[in-house]
Structure 1
Amino acid sequence: MNEDHLDIKTPEFVSIQFQIAGLGSRSAAFIIDQLLLMAFNILSLIVLFFVLDGMSKMEFIFIGNSLPIAITIIVLFLVNGGYFFAYEFFSGGRTLGKKLMGIRVIQENGHSITLLSSFIRNLIRIIDSLPTAYFLGIIMIFFHSKHKRLGDLVAGTIVVHERKAKRKKKLSPLENELNNRGLSKDDLILDEWTLKSLGMKDWKLVKTYASRFLQIPLDERNQLTEQIAVILFPKVGLDPSGKATDELENNLLVLYLVLLEEWEFEL
């Protein structure tokens, strides 16, 4: 196996290859994230200055300048400390910097990063930043065969380049059906909490439905549509009652497109 690639075998013994992100792309993503955090920090301090400058003498006597400063310190601590942890978990292993560089954090088995892994990975970031300027992390990434820093080793994660889905020149029957119906993933907007509440079983259910959609007889399809809608719609805030079968079908197919983007990297 090439040291810059990671081969993962699925339970069906199908090999999937990921390109491992090296020091260059990871450093660029980190610099972008740090610039964003720096801009936020500077803006927060400017706001604090104007708040203190605008306080009246009475406010200063009774409140003092300690409360605005304490609030600012707490906000800066939460944002700077939780930025990487929250973004990597809720955005599929990608901070803003990683999105721009086309890389993401995943589990070593190819699955999306978990809450615990994200927490451990970014907690160890404190050690990786020692003794200064992220020196230990840079050395680890440079010399490790899979370009891992200490946080990746402990959390069981790895940073890879985004796998671009290869589009066939000729659209599949399902893609043609979606185009004919004028459906896209933008027809259903789900927040991150709702997306995270849908698990592997939900994805496999809607994926099986979409893959069999054009093959099963109409009567059986109508019955299956109603059954799956009753199971999945409440989880995404939709009410299946009183809706025509065509509308239920469209909603399920759009849900498939939304989850496809979320689960396309899953094995």
Structure 2
Amino acid sequence: MNEDRLDIKTPEYVSIQFQLAGLGSRAAAFIIDQLLLTVVNILTIVVLFFVMDGISSVQFLPDSFIPIAITIIILFIVNWGYFFAFEFFLGGRTIGKKLIGIRVIQENGHSITLLSSFIRNLIRIIDSLPTAYFLGIIMIFFHPKHKRLGDLVAGTIVIHERKVKQKKKLTPIEKEIETRGLTKYDIFIDEWTLKSLGMKEWKLISTYASRYPQVPMEERNQLTRQIAEILLPKIGLEVEGKRETDLENTLLVLYLILKDEWEFEL
């Protein structure tokens, strides 16, 4: 199944291998998404029915077309915006993709960007032609990287999620992060800043995280401030005036964010 795998070399000459999502898994995810959208569409139309029923008893008949026009606009925004919003804000995953275990990423291995998500889903209109997503199905089936037209234009690919092996015990740093109640969502880093952090920054923060539980307190405080002075300005955060505990929390959250980007395990 080598044809279903894609090797990507990062600027740091690190080779990352992805398993491409084929027609079957993509179709399954799409069906789940469409079922969810169908429920939303039906509920919207039911609401329209009751609104129209109320308007029909009013003498101003011309205004009765306004709810229909509004509903058509809402249905278009929901059906198109669902894929665009979920793929961008949930890291390339719609609800269907998340359940099936696939996601959309950039062809260079990075997370999908706002522009790519917009273009990819705008072209979805063409991929659905002439009916029942026929053009998209044909493209995915015959393209060597299982791309539809939207993927070609946006420079994206759809891959299977990388499954992290279950560990019986948490590592010391994972226990520390869990004890502090930290998550990768505690800091917002925009996509451009995130892409400026490469393998060098990942190695630095991962080394810090691995050494953190073993280093004596005095040496740990010194190490924390040194690493913070290197990394935090790169994400727009100041170091001056902050306590060591705050710097530690920020660095550990940054570790979680970069781990999601750089630590791959099939």
Please confirm whether the aligned pair reaches a TM-score higher than 0.5, indicating the same fold.
yes
Q: What is the SS of the residue equivalent to 2:60?
A: helix
Structure 1 residue 137: Cα displacement: 1.2
Corresponding residue for residue 161 of structure 1: 160
Listed one character per residue, the Cα deviations across residues 94-149 of structure 1 (whole Å, up to 9, x for unaligned) are: 11111111011112221222222222222222221111111111112112222111
Residues 241, 42 of structure 1: alpha-carbon distance in 2 compared, 3 angstrom cutoff = farther
**Inter-partner Cα distance in structure 2 for 1:207 and 1:132:** 49
Corresponding residue for residue 179 of structure 1: 175
The TM-score normalised by the length of structure 2 is 0.78
Listed one character per residue, the Cα deviations across residues 150-196 of structure 1 (whole Å, up to 9, x for unaligned) are: 2222222111101123466776xxx40341461354485467xx554
**Inter-partner Cα distance in structure 1 for 2:194 and 2:103:** 20
Corresponding residue for residue 107 of structure 2: 108
For 1:196-211, what aligned pairs fall within 5 Å after superposition? 196=191, 198-201=193-196, 205=201, 208-211=204-207
For structure 1, the 5+ residue unaligned runs are none
**Inter-partner Cα distance in structure 2 for 1:47 and 1:189:** 38
**Inter-partner Cα distance in structure 2 for 1:190 and 1:45:** 40
**Inter-partner Cα distance in structure 2 for 1:78 and 1:228:** 43
Corresponding residue for residue 129 of structure 1: 128
Residues 183, 233 of structure 1: alpha-carbon distance in 2 compared, 3 angstrom cutoff = farther
Listed one character per residue, the Cα deviations across residues 230-264 of structure 1 (whole Å, up to 9, x for unaligned) are: 747876xxx97876422431243134324533565
Structure 1 residue 92: Cα displacement: 1.3
Q: What is the SS of the residue equivalent to 2:45?
A: helix
**Inter-partner Cα distance in structure 1 for 2:208 and 2:81:** 42
**Inter-partner Cα distance in structure 2 for 1:30 and 1:188:** 27
**Inter-partner Cα distance in structure 2 for 1:197 and 1:6:** 24
Q: Give the letter aligned to residue 25 of structure 1.
A: S
8 Å contact from structure 1 (residues 229, 240) kept in 2: no
Residues 230, 5 of structure 1: alpha-carbon distance in 2 compared, 3 angstrom cutoff = closer
More displaced 10-residue stretch of structure 1: 36-45 or 253-262: 253-262
**Inter-partner Cα distance in structure 2 for 1:95 and 1:45:** 23
**Inter-partner Cα distance in structure 1 for 2:146 and 2:2:** 13
The TM-score normalised by the length of structure 1 is 0.78
Corresponding residue for residue 252 of structure 1: 251
Q: What is the SS of the residue equivalent to 1:133?
A: coil
Residues 231, 56 of structure 1: alpha-carbon distance in 2 compared, 3 angstrom cutoff = farther
Corresponding residue for residue 223 of structure 1: 225
Corresponding residue for residue 53 of structure 2: 53
**Inter-partner Cα distance in structure 1 for 2:100 and 2:110:** 20
8 Å contact from structure 2 (residues 201, 231) kept in 1: no
**Inter-partner Cα distance in structure 1 for 2:220 and 2:241:** 20
- Work out whether 1:34 is the aligned partner of 2:34: yes
Q: Give the letter aligned to residue 23 of structure 1.
A: L
Sequence identity, in percent?
Answer: 61
8 Å contact from structure 1 (residues 207, 256) kept in 2: no
Corresponding residue for residue 13 of structure 1: 13
What is the Cα-based RMSD across aligned positions, in Å? 3.4
8 Å contact from structure 1 (residues 128, 136) kept in 2: yes
**Inter-partner Cα distance in structure 1 for 2:83 and 2:14:** 32
**Inter-partner Cα distance in structure 2 for 1:133 and 1:5:** 28
